[in-house]
Each structure stands twice: as C-alpha cells, then as structure tokens.
Structure 1
Amino acid sequence: MTDRRIAITGGYGFLGWHTACRLRAVHQNDALRLGREDFADRGRLAAALGDADVVIHVAGINRGEDSIVEQGNIALATDLADALMQIGRPIDVVYANSIQADLDNSYGRGKKEAGERLGATVSALGGKFADLLLPNLFGEHGRPDYNSFVATFANEIAAGRQPVITRDREIELLHVQDAAAELMAAAGLETRRTVPGEAIHISRVRELFEHFRGLYIAKGEIPDISLPLHRNLFNTFRAAAFPHQWPIETDVHADNRGNLFETIRTHGGPGMAFISTTLPGQRRGDHYHLHKVERFFVVKGEAELELRKLLHDDVFRFRLSGDNPSFVDMPTLWVHNIRNVGDSELITMFWADQLLDPSNPDQYPELVAQEVCP
C-alpha cells in the first residue's frame, strides 16, 4: 500500500477519515480524499481518479427518508462506476458494504445494488473488486445521531445527560480502525466476505460509558481497559469529552516536608510511567497514537501542550504549571507535543496504558505545526 495511489470516496466522513489516518500512520501514504463536491460532476470525478491505483469506496448515505437512502447509495456507486468507465483502465476497488446488504430494508437494498453495479464495472475493466460487509462501526469522533448509537451515547453521557434505550438488544460492533485495516488489506483482492465484529448489548455500552464518566471525568481515573473492546469504547468516550474536560488539577497534600499529590490511578490492565526533564525552550512529542491512552502530568515548571486532530488544521493549546499540578490526556489520532515555556527545568510524568513494544510502539511521528493534506 505504500507505493500505490489510493483514493477514498467519502474521505472526509467518519470511516473515510479513519482510513486516511491509518494509511498515513501505517504506510506513510497520503490518500486522495474525495468529498461530496467531487461527485457533483462525473467529469471532475474521473479527472480526480485518473492516477489512482486503488479506490476505497466509503461514501454512502446512512440516514434519511427510505427512498433517499436507497437511491442515494445506488447513485453514488453509479457515479463512481461511470467515472471508472471514462478512465477506461483497470482500477482495483474496495467497497465498504454493510451486513444489512442481505436484509430487505432501504439501506440494505441500496448497499446491495450499489455493490452489484460497481462490481460489474470493475470486473468489466479488468480490475479486482473487494466487497466487504461491515457490521455496526464505532470509534473516535463519530457523529452523534448519525454514525451510530455509540457516538450518541458517548456524546450524551460525556455531557452529563442520560440517553434512553427504546429496545435493548445485542448488537455486533467493530471499531472503525479495525474496519479501516480490513479495507486496506483487501486492496487488490477479488472477494466478498463479512467482517466479524464483537457482540455487546446496547445497555452494556451505556453502562460502560456511565462507569467511564464516574471514574474518568469526575476523578481523572483510568477504568479497566484491558479488553480491546473496552479500550476502544473508552477512547470513543474520551474523544467525546475532549477538549472540555482539560486540564484537571489534582489535590495537593502539603506539610512541612513538602507536597504530595496523586498522578494517576488505574483500575486494571498493564501500564507504564516515566519521568522526563525538559530544558527551557525545548519540546517533546510531535507524534500521535492509534490506540494508546497517554497522560502528560506537569510536576514542576511551566509547559504548553499543543494538540491537532490528524488531517486537520486547528491547534488546541493548554498551559500547565507545576505550581498547580495538573494533567491532560492525549486523545487518539491527535498529534501532540509539550514545550517548556518557563525559565527553569520542566519535570513531566508520562503514563501509557500499554507496555512499550519496540516492534509495535503505536507511535507515529508528525509535527503539530505543519500544513496538512487537503
């Protein structure tokens, strides 16, 4: 995937953004991201795809009137198929389909027919067509009331509200980064298969988010995230709470010997902590993580934290001081650094929820202050 030219339709949406982020992190490949305006004109779409080796077709309509959902998904696939015909050469396509494609509802019928039309065109041109049926996706920065109930629950509970469950049932969930990995791995394959998720009751998701709020937002404590599903739900919840939660100041216990304060409390799973000193004007970081939970706790000195959502421009800044010991946790898929803005040595404690694996550190270098891809 490193040397192939990848285009992602729906590249600014939930799954499209996550896929572009993963391509950059794992393969150092900046995909061509296509949005709604690119589908407004078929000639423009064909021109945009002219140099592509692989198209990951993520663009779709999830919500709306039945006819709009059904015909809208078919129209997007038809526009893409027509653009591929204009190009007139083999291009491999990976289609982000849905497990609902085998169900008789408007969304399922639209996704199914979209796949059939697109697959026929790709095959006629000599390309490879991978049709992946994905379960319900969730993850960081999903859109409430649109992408999934998980995004809605995370947003509501992080804000202190109580979402209502109208019909509790078990549902199959797949983290969006796992879905992105599957889409990337399918490039160049001729296949149609269902990607499995993990079953969980809707009420259990709400229960976990309420548990996270009680520990994390109220106290800054890390819940037990030793299970991958729980870690992914926790990162989803953290994204919904960012940036309003930060920074958190801790209680300081002082006597004639000095000060004592708690930097982190965890409720299960592995983890590691380390201390750094940073000279005035110097900075550390300038990287991002896909899954890691990481805390920056300023113990002494003056610091500025900078964070930028991957493939975005806006930078958030926090000032932390050892005079009021405080911390900020780094959200996943946000580039971050810490800089000493004081006149004396900066002492920072770092904590991560996983032991460092040099062969797979989940740490991808990138400057916070840089131009991002359009």
Structure 2
Amino acid sequence: MLRLAVTGAGGFLGWHVRVLLRALGWPEPIVLTRGDLADPRLVAAKLTGGVDRVLHLAGVNRGEPADVAAGNVQLAVQLAEGLKQCPDPPVRVVYANSVQAGNGTPYGDAKATAARLLAGAGVDLDDVLLPNLYGEHGRPYYNSAVATFCRVLAEGGRPEVHADRELRLVHVTDAAARLIGVPTGGSWDPAMPALRIGVRALADRLTAMAATYRTGEIPSLPDRQDIRLFNTYRSHCFPAHYPLALPRRADARGELVETVKAHGGAGQTFCSTTRPGITRGEHYHLAKVERFVVLRGSAEISLRRVDDAEVLRFPVSGDEPVLVDMPTMWVHKLVNTGADELVTMFWTNELFDPNRPDTWPEPVEAARSASLAVSA
C-alpha cells in the first residue's frame, strides 16, 4: 500500500483514480492543485516525507493549440521544480502521457516535452502513454467521443459522425489501475485492454444500446467492453431517467410484472425480504449492473456518487412497481420505510463470485467533500 500524491485530482481520470484507491482501501491521496503547483516551495512541503509516488494527471486537452501546448509544459515545469526543491522526494513520478506524444502537433509535442522535463527532475519517471479513455461521468464535448455520444443519446438525440476513423478506447478504471500500479482485479486490468472500433461503429453500437434500454430492457452485454460502454451510457441517464415504470398485467388470478428483459449475456436474479426499518446495501460497484424492483411494501432507495456529498432519494412502492438501476461508482442503499415486510427483486448482469464480488462497502450518508467531484 503506497502513499500517493496526485495532480489533476478533480478531473475525469483523477476522479476515477480516487474511486479505485477508495475501493482498494488505500489512504486518501495528497492533492496538488494548480494553485499549489504555482509555488514550488508548497509542492516540496506537501511531498516531503511519506509520499511514495506522484501521479501527474493534470493537463490541458482542449483550447487554442498554443495555449494547450504552453499549459502542458508549464504544469510539468512547475512539478519538476517542486520535486527539485524537495529534500526527501518521492521515489517515482507516474506521468499520464498520451499516445499522441511527439506526433508533431502542438499537443503531442508538448506532452513529449513535459515527459523530458519530468525525467530531468531527479526522480524515477514512469511515462505511461495512454490512448483515448472513456468511462462513467466523462465530460461530453471534452473527454471523449464516447461521452459526447452518450450524452446526446441520453437527451434523446442521435450522434453525428463527421469523420470516421479507428479509435483505440481504454476504460478509465483500467488506466487508473495501471497508473496506481496494482495487479489485475475483478473489475480492472492494468494491461489496459483496448477496444478498437470506428467512430461510426461506436455511434451505432451506443445508439442500439440506448434504443433497447429506453424501456428498461437490458441490451446484449457479451463482454467487458460492452458492459463498460453500457455503464458509461447509464451514467449520462442518471438520475433523470429513473425510476422507470414497469409493465403490469392483471386478471382474476392476480398481477404479473415484467422486471427484467435481458437480450444477451450472463445474469442472476434473487429476491429478499426486509423487515421494517432495516437497511440493505451501503456499498458501490465498479462494473456490475444492478437493478432494484420493490414488489411488496414501501422503501426508499438512496444513492450518492463516490466522493460527492449530495444524496439522491427515490421513494418506491410495490403498489406501483418501478425499476431503479444502480449506476456504477454510486454508493447505494435500500431502506424499508413501511410497517410491513418488504419484498425486493434484485438483478445483476453477472453471476456472483465470492472471490470477486465487486462490492465495496461505504455508507451512503457519509460526509464527503464535494469539492473534487467530477461534474457530469
């Protein structure tokens, strides 16, 4: 277990790094803000004693080419100067570089220059060339085409493809695992397996997922990349698309409720009873798709995004069954708010594996700082 410091902790990659650290049970990282980086003495003070590794994630990805280039170089200069003034520096700097480094563009050449500057800071450098990253809560029109397409689809639009080319996409949790330096787990792979797909094919795949999911049906999820693309899309649907009413059919015999229609892939269904006032949950998942449907009684489903403070609440009842799908990286719980026993159906997209449960305990009502949370 290492003690880390992180630049760019409030960005897309930074948030996912902090979520994975939370799941691993590692200490909260020391955060170096851009204001901190402007003062080499402050950087040295924060890094002196007890910090094993610095993850340099801060960067400038969008803007005027000259500003993008200058910004990436400046951030590296500032961190390198702070490291040089550190009497007891970290053992290693891990740099979130880009596969575009040195490709002749202002951005690519600036990323390559930043790597050389960090290599000259007197600390071992792990220069990680990252491809296009995608994942939950990426910023549309900024982080990736995946985020843009997902947001457009979630808002009822259709993605526009202006130029088709092959993309090499890596899920951001895999990138976080590579940067942190942890072995393969149930929900991450530091080898960063990539999805190679054309822009048009990506738009078509996400469009098909969205069309199937619009009524609550689960699209075919044959592999981990499909699951992660689906989770990314769902992150842009939450919370506006929930709860979703379920079809009900009644006759003289009673009622029938269609709770899950899955078009392909694994899955497991189970039911529970919960006594009045009792809580279930208080955890989050990194990759698992999980559905709650209350069939009898009344309850409240509460959710909070990891490292955020706001708690969202959904009152639900078996009198009018609805589905609420738990977004990945959101802590959630279910509380029986009625006077009678609660009956709930749960569905997940994978068979439960006690050795890799993808269930990370954390209270929903925990007081967390929202200052570093990524905006959706």
TM over 0.5: yes
1:148-167 correspondence to structure 2 within 5 Å: 148-167=144-163
* Percent sequence identity over aligned pairs: 46
Higher fraction of helix: 1
| 8 A contact 2:231–2:287 mirrored in 1 | yes
Which residue in the other structure is 1:184 paired with? 180
Aligned-residue offset at 1:163: 2.4
Question: Residue 100 of structure 1: SS of its match in structure 2?
Answer: coil
2: distance between equivalents of 1:197 and 1:148? 15
Match of 2:116? 116
Q: CA deviation at 1:199?
A: 0.8
Question: 1:226-265 residue pairs with structure 2 within 5 A?
Answer: 226-265=222-261
Tell me if 1:71 matches 2:70.
yes
Maintained 8 Å contact 1:56/1:93: yes
Paired AA for residue 272 in structure 2: S
Identify if the C-alpha distance between structure 1 residues 147 and 315 changes in structure 2 by more than 3 Å, giving closer, same or farther. Answer: same
- How far residue 22 of structure 1 moved from its aligned partner, in angstroms, is 0.5
The normalised TM-score by structure 2 is 0.93
Contact kept in structure 2, 1:134 and 1:196, CA below 8 Å: no
Deviation at 1:194, TM superposition (A): 9.8
| Mapped partners of 1:42, 1:250: distance in 2 | 58
**TM superposition shift of 1:7:** 1.1
TM-score where L is the length of structure 1: 0.93
- Distance in 1 between the 2:167 and 2:347 partners? 33
How far did residue 39 of structure 1 move? 2.6
Inter-partner Cα distance in structure 2 for 1:74 and 1:278: 56
The one of 260, 263, 268 aligned to 2:264: 268
Question: 1:94·1:186 contact (CA, 8 Å) conserved in 2?
Answer: no
Task: Tell me the equivalent position of 1:106.
Answer: 106
RMSD: 1.7
Matches of 2:162 and 2:7, distance apart in 1 = 34
Question: 1:210 offset after TM fit, Å?
Answer: 1.1
Give the C-alpha shift of residue 186 in structure 1. Answer: 7.5
Q: Is the 8 A contact 2:164 2:198 kept in 1?
A: yes
1:213 aligned to 2:210? yes
What's the counterpart of residue 374 of structure 2?
none
Counterpart in 1 of 2:31? 33
Unaligned runs of 5+ in 2: 184-189, 372-376
CA offsets 1:230-283 (integer angstroms, 9 cap, x no match): 111101100011100100111111111111011101011111011011111111
Which segment drifts farther, 286-295 or 79-88?
79-88
Structure 1, unaligned stretches of length 5 or more?
A: 188-192
The answer for the alignment partner of 1:88 in structure 2 is 87
Consecutive aligned runs of 4 or more in structure 1 exceeding 4 Å deviation? 193-196
Match for 2:101: what amino acid? A
Q: Is the 8 A contact 1:145 1:152 kept in 2?
A: yes
Alpha carbons 1:224, 1:266 under 8 Å: kept: yes
- Give, as a single letter, the amino acid of the residue that structure 2 aligns with 1:223: P
- 1:325 is aligned, of 321, 324, 327, to 321
C-alpha displacement at 1:88, in angstroms?
2.9
8 A Cα contact 2:178 2:191, kept in partner: no
Letter aligned with residue 165 of structure 1: V
C-alpha distance after superposition, 1:299-356 (max 9, x if no partner):
1111101111001111111111101011100000000000011111111001110111
Equivalent pairs counted in the alignment come to 362
Following superposition, the deviation at residue 128 of structure 1 comes to 2.5
